[in-house]
Amino acid sequence: MMYDFLFQFFAATAILAGVIMVTRKNPVSAVIFLVVVFFATSGMFLMLDAHYIAAINLILYGGAIMVLFLFVIMLLNLGHTDSEDLRGPFGGLIGGAVAIGFLGLLARLLVGDAPAAASVVPAGEALRAATAEQGIIGVVARPLFGEYFMVLQVTGVLLLAAIVGTILLAQRKHA
Amino acid sequence: MSQSLGLAGLGEPGLIAVFVSAILFAIGVIGVMIRRNAIIVFMCIELMLNAANIALVAFSRMHGVEGQIFVFFVMAVAAAEAAVGLAIIIAIFRHYEVVDLDRFRLLKW
Query: Do A2 and A36 form a contact (C-beta atoms < 8 A)?
Result: no
**Structure confidence at residue B3 (pLDDT):** 44
Q: A1-82 has which CATH code?
A: 1.20.120.1200
Closest Cβ opposite residue A76 in set B61, B78, B93? B93
b/e code A33-65 from CB counts within 10 Å (16+ = b): bbbbbbbbbbbbbbbbbbbbbbebbbebbbeeb
Strand ranges inside A91-169, DSSP E? none
pLDDT tens digits, one per residue of B16-37: 888 899 899 989 988 988 888 8
Task: Identify the CA nearest to A92 among candidates B83, B36, B97, B11.
Answer: B36
**Structure confidence at residue A130 (pLDDT):** 77
Taking the Cβ of residue A45 and every Cβ of chain B, the question of whether any pair is shorter than 8 Å is answered with yes
**Structure confidence at residue A119 (pLDDT):** 41
- Chain B hits for A22, CB-CB cut-off 8 Å, are 27-28, 30-31, 34-35, 40, 44
Task: Give the minimum alpha-carbon distance from A90 to chain B in angstroms, rounded to a whole number.
Answer: 9
Taking the Cβ of residue A43 and every Cβ of chain B, the question of whether any pair is shorter than 8 Å is answered with no
Longest dimension (CA), chain A: 63
Taking the Cβ of residue A42 and every Cβ of chain B, the question of whether any pair is shorter than 8 Å is answered with no
Q: Which residue has the higher pLDDT, B101 or A154?
A: A154
**For a pLDDT cut of 70, what percent of chain A falls above it?**
87
Residues 48-107 of B with CB under 8 A from A: 50, 53-54, 57-58, 60-66, 68-69, 71-73, 75-84, 86-91, 93-94, 99-100
Query: Do A41 and B47 form a contact (C-beta atoms < 8 A)?
Result: no
Task: Give the minimum alpha-carbon distance from A116 to chain B in angstroms, rounded to a whole number.
Answer: 4
Distance, CA of A60 to CA of A71 (rounded, Å): 15
With CA atoms as reference, the chain A residue closest to B63 would be A121
For every one of its 175 residues, what pLDDT tens digit does chain A have, with 9 covering 90 and above?
788 889 999 999 999 999 999 988 888 999 999 999 999 999 999 998 888 999 999 999 888 999 999 999 998 888 777 666 777 777 778 888 888 888 887 777 666 655 444 444 455 677 777 778 888 888 888 888 988 999 999 999 999 999 999 999 888 776 5
- What residue segments make up the domains of chain B, in order of their start? 12-102
Taking the Cβ of residue A100 and every Cβ of chain B, the question of whether any pair is shorter than 8 Å is answered with no
Question: How many Cα atoms sit within 13 Å of B39 on the Cβ side?
Answer: 33
CA B62 to chain centre: 22
Sign of the Cα torsion B69, B74, B75, B80 reads positive
Instruction: Determine, for residues B43 and A52 on separate chains, whether the beta-carbon distance falls below 8 Å.
Output: no
Does domain B12-102 sit in CATH 1.10.287.3510? Answer: yes
* Crossing angle between the packed helical segments A2-23 and A27-47, to the nearest 10 degrees: 160
Convert chain B into a string of H (helix), E (strand) and C (coil): CHHHHCCHHHHHHHHHHHHHHHHHHHHHHHHHHHECEHHHHHHHHHHHHHHHHHHHHHHHHHHCCHHHHHHHHHHHHHHHHHHHHHHHHHHHHHHHCCCEHHHCCCCCC
**Which value, to the nearest 10 degrees, does the dihedral of the CA atoms of residues B37, B84, A30, A54 take?**
150
Please provide residue B35's backbone torsions phi and psi, each rounded to the nearest 5 degrees: -105, 150
Distance, CA of A96 to CA of A101 (rounded, Å): 8
**What ipTM does the predicted assembly reach?**
0.88
Q: Which pLDDT band, with edges at 50, 70 and 90, does B4 fall under? A: very low
| Mean pLDDT for the stretch of residues B76-95 | 91
Closest Cβ opposite residue A170 in set B3, B5, B90? B90
Instruction: Determine, for residues B99 and A121 on separate chains, whether the beta-carbon distance falls below 8 Å.
Output: no
Q: What are residue B100's DSSP bridge partners? A: B37
End-to-end CA distance of chain B: 50
Taking the Cβ of residue A97 and every Cβ of chain B, the question of whether any pair is shorter than 8 Å is answered with no
